[in-house]
Structure 1
Amino acid sequence: MEIRHLNRDELVHENGLDAQRLLPWPALNAPFEGSWCVIRPGTASTPHAHHEYEIFVAMKGTAVLDHDGGRTPFVAGDIVHFTPGERHSIVNESAVDFEMYSIWWDRPMADVFILNHEEGE
């Protein structure tokens, strides 16, 4: 077993939020990458779209998803899936931090996973 710890004191500010990339790491062969994200009160992540699929898992607090289809409440326990090219951002209109985990993947990541898996057999 190997564990990767979240270090809240060393989150990196990027894309309008504070984050720590927890995946990938050398010991783990996975077909996806992931990051712990904190959106501070009164701020929002940078609106963007990309070629990867993505899932957000809301872990703590309340926010609003600003997306191609409008604005949708997003609270702890919720999960959202974005398809490639779908514009989105997270808006924290509350007075406390909003925390979530983001996971994204695409075909090249899956291909590398399969190659590494087959080489390890």
Structure 2
Amino acid sequence: MATMEMRSLDRGTLGPENGFSQPLLPWSALNAPFKGAWCVVHPGSSTTRHAHPDYEIFIALSGEAVLESRGERVPFREGDIVHFPPDTDHQVHNEGAEDFQMYTAWWTPETAEGFLARHRGEA
């Protein structure tokens, strides 16, 4: 039985959903209580301003950007992490000269309940 399964980033599949992202979670062999994606925001571009019923975190991996939410703008740099409660608008702006990269994970109570059901073998 394999002890590890790895997925590698394929920059060729980065798509324009809320910026440029590649969904990395879920996949069929992994029972995760959240979904996630690698995101790249190119210089001079921004993600789509949006809000949704999910909880969400962003983890800044490289570069610098500006986070905008509810009229507030704050710097967002490598190593920073931010949490957005459900229905909180958010947008990432890359006003610099290099790509900004981050990982995002999001979940709802239903996502977590599905995880628990699969874990218990109920689904």
Report whether the alignment pairs 1:44 with 2:46.
Answer: yes
Q: Distance in 1 between matches of 2:77 and 2:7?
A: 25
Counterpart of 2:102 in structure 1 is 100
Counterpart of 1:18 in structure 2 is 20
* CA-to-aligned-CA distance 1:21-65 (integer Å, 9 cap, x gap): 000000110110000000010011011111000000000000000
Q: Distance in 2 between matches of 1:84 and 1:9?
A: 31
Counterpart of 2:12 in structure 1 is 9
Q: Distance in 2 between matches of 1:64 and 1:46?
A: 13
Q: Secondary structure at the match of 1:112?
A: helix
TM-score (norm 2): 0.94
TM-score (norm 1): 0.95
Q: Secondary structure at the match of 2:28?
A: coil
Hey, which of these two has a bigger chunk of strand by percent?
1
Counterpart of 2:36 in structure 1 is 34
Counterpart of 1:86 in structure 2 is 88
Runs of 4+ aligned residues of structure 1 deviating over 6 Å after TM superposition are none
Tell me how far 1:10 sits from its aligned partner.
1.8
- Across the aligned residues of Structure 1 and Structure 2, the Cα RMSD in angstroms comes to 1.0
**Residues paired across the two proteins, number:** 119
Q: Secondary structure at the match of 1:103?
A: strand
